Structure 1
Amino acid sequence: MGIKTWLMSFSPTTLTSAFSSVTLGTALAWYLNDRFNPIIYVITLAALLLAQAGVNLVHDYYDYLSGVDILYRASGFSHRPHPIIDLKLSPRDVITVGYVFLAIAFMAGVYLFTLVGLPVLILAMAGLIIGVGYSIPPLKFHYRGYGEVLAALAMGPLVTWGSYIVQTGIYANPAPLIVGIPNGLFTLLILIGSGALEIDACRTVGKITLVLLVGIRNTRYVVYTSIALMYLAIVISAILHYLPYISLVSLLLIPRTLRLAGPLLSGDENVVRSRWRELRNLWAGPFSVRLILLIIFIVSMIIARIYPPLSI
């Protein structure tokens, strides 16, 4: 198989989550503490991209073994290429590459630990447990109804916090945890969207996703709450001076976010099925909300540093 096939197997559109959180944590270190080490940024970014790609491969392998992805593909839906079913990679190669990526990412975490200290190693271990335990027995978080929440916590606040720590050596500042909430919650929306499309397959194999746990009718309330908290976190970040007030222009994205999540707000399985191509825009659209948020945050930081009155 060629390099292009393997790159597709990593589910590259989902890797914007790791990129956004690492870059945001690094930008906060520069904006709040005037710290920026480009080498550490590159190491951190590479490690997190490998970690997320590794988790994607391991997750796809175990969903293939459970049969949920085979049933899902048979239903006619497809929100991204599956490395085994669609790209025809061997299951053994997929799980091997997934574990190799996770091992490299963890070793990068150990290296950063030698530079910064124990909290980085603890965060790396927590991320590894969440990533590996997402689909792998006996933990199988994603099969028990709370995997999506743990993934959102890991890929949002924790990655942003860790990326800030390795730049500054400061552990106690809550800024990256709060500023990282929007990316984590957008990740949650994406996972809820894929869970809604896979609902029949998950029922058949006994996989309890968040959508099945709360029910499709109540999923809309989870979505509304997630979107409200996303933008509330931005407002709080501006009030606490973690972000410049001009970053509040990002509130203009609320209608777009609601439109992207539109199929999930119906509370009806048939509507979700009929609008499945529209729902894919949550994670496969040309301009991801989380990337737009990242651009707004960084541009607002640069403007505020150039013209300090705009930082308040």
Structure 2
Amino acid sequence: MSDATGDATERAPSRLATLASSWAYALRTTNPPPGPIDALDPVTRWIVVSRAAVLPMTLVAGLVAALLAVGEPGLDWRWLVLAVVGITLAHLANNLMNDLYDTQAGSDTAQYPRALYAPHPILSGLVAKRALVAATVAVNLLDLVILVVLTLARGWPVVAFALAGFLLSVAYTAPPLRLKKRGLGEPDVLVVWGPLMVCGTYYCAVGHVGWPVLLASLPYGLLCVAVLMGKHTDKIPFDRPLGIHTLPVLLGDRRARAATLGLMVGFYLLVGLSVLLGTMPWPALLVVLGLPRLVKVWPHFRRPPPPEPPKDFPVWPLWYAALAWLHTRQAGLLLVLGLAVGALPWFAAHPLR
């Protein structure tokens, strides 16, 4: 009896450790760990399906808004937290909707990068289309509940921010606009991950918003666009024959890579301008610690991608997207750290209870 209990106790941590390792791998790479898809646990499966690995981009935007709101009159932590949850769920819903629309439109195929750098939710058999539709509806309904609560608390501008974000997210891939196909997907992302997310979350937190927050929302928006520019540059050989005219397709490979570098440089310049104009505290200049990462990825953007993926490279054929993401992740976290340091005096004077 005691031996059986001991064996079960030993197996439980092992199972939990295996699951945790699987979840961590999926969150780090957007891919399931090596092995048959049929053997995936439900959590890993939905981490991959929802592309949860990229949700930190939205979480950082929410944290930027939160730290800008610290010390402002009218700050209510309840609405701030709810708004951050809301924009994160909106990003998750957007990921699901994009896969649904692109599959229905026929642009997502087994030979298209979406199904190459990670298993496509439907094409790979990870989930049935019906389950993906159900998940999309459920996430959007939950977001709608959050929208109602925040609107009752803060008024109609919340609806304006949420509706604009939803419409732009849908129009990114869905007909009739399909902004991505017309070279407008990149500006769409700048507006959504910059002014709409940051200013919208800030408004929910304090009940007002002005031009200083608008300016402060732009640097991180540029980083998010840089990741998308890298991704669309990787996909030029696939998108051009399909008539998908993303901005990199219109610019051409060399100019698209130069533009992506310009966006990353622009992040540092805009943070400096924001500090100079007082829309960000001076510790935000900690972002300069991200420059070595930019220097490291810079030469790769000045030349074509390698003919073969490096060893253990998980998201091939994405190359520039991965490089831009490494820089965005570090620079974004440094921005959050700088803003947090700038907010420390307020927290010291107003300890949370």
TM-score (normalised: structure 2): 0.76
Question: Alpha-carbon deviation of 1:145?
Answer: 0.9
Out of 270, 280, 289, the position equivalent to 1:252 is: 289
The equivalences for 1:19-168 within 5 A come to 19-31=59-71, 33=72, 35-73=74-112, 77-78=116-117, 80-86=118-124, 88-168=126-206
Give the counterpart letter for 1:253 in structure 2: G
Out of 242, 266, 287, the position equivalent to 1:229 is: 266
Give the total of aligned pairs: 302
Structure 1 residues 283 and 224, CA gap change in structure 2 (3 angstroms):
closer
Q: Matched residues, percent identical? A: 23
Out of 3, 6, 9, the position equivalent to 2:49 is: 9
Distance 2:115 2:43 in 1: 27
Question: Alpha-carbon deviation of 1:274?
Answer: 5.8
Render the CA deviation track for 1:77-111: whole Å, top value 9, x for unaligned. 51x44322346212232233224323432342232
The equivalences for 1:178-193 within 5 A come to 178-193=215-230
Out of 258, 271, 294, the position equivalent to 2:336 is: 294
Question: Alpha-carbon deviation of 1:36?
Answer: 3.7
Distance 1:281 1:226 in 2: 13
Question: Alpha-carbon deviation of 1:64?
Answer: 2.7
TM-score (normalised: structure 1): 0.85
Give the counterpart letter for 1:228 in structure 2: V
Structure 1 outlier segments of 4+, above 6 Å: none
Question: Mean Cα displacement is larger for which, 17-26 or 252-261?
Answer: 252-261
**8 Å contact 2:230–2:260 — kept in the other structure?**
no
SS in 1 for 2:121: coil
**8 Å contact 1:77–1:197 — kept in the other structure?**
no
Partner of 2:18: none
The equivalences for 1:192-271 within 5 A come to 192-260=229-297, 262-266=299-303, 268=304, 270-271=305-306
RMSD: 2.8
Tell me, which stretches of 5 or more residues in structure 1 are unaligned? Answer: 308-312
Structure 1 residues 236 and 3, CA gap change in structure 2 (3 angstroms):
same
Structure 1 residues 193 and 6, CA gap change in structure 2 (3 angstroms):
same
Structure 1 residues 258 and 188, CA gap change in structure 2 (3 angstroms):
farther
Structure 1 residues 303 and 257, CA gap change in structure 2 (3 angstroms):
farther
Partner of 1:177: 214
Question: Alpha-carbon deviation of 1:202?
Answer: 1.2
Distance 2:78 2:65 in 1: 15
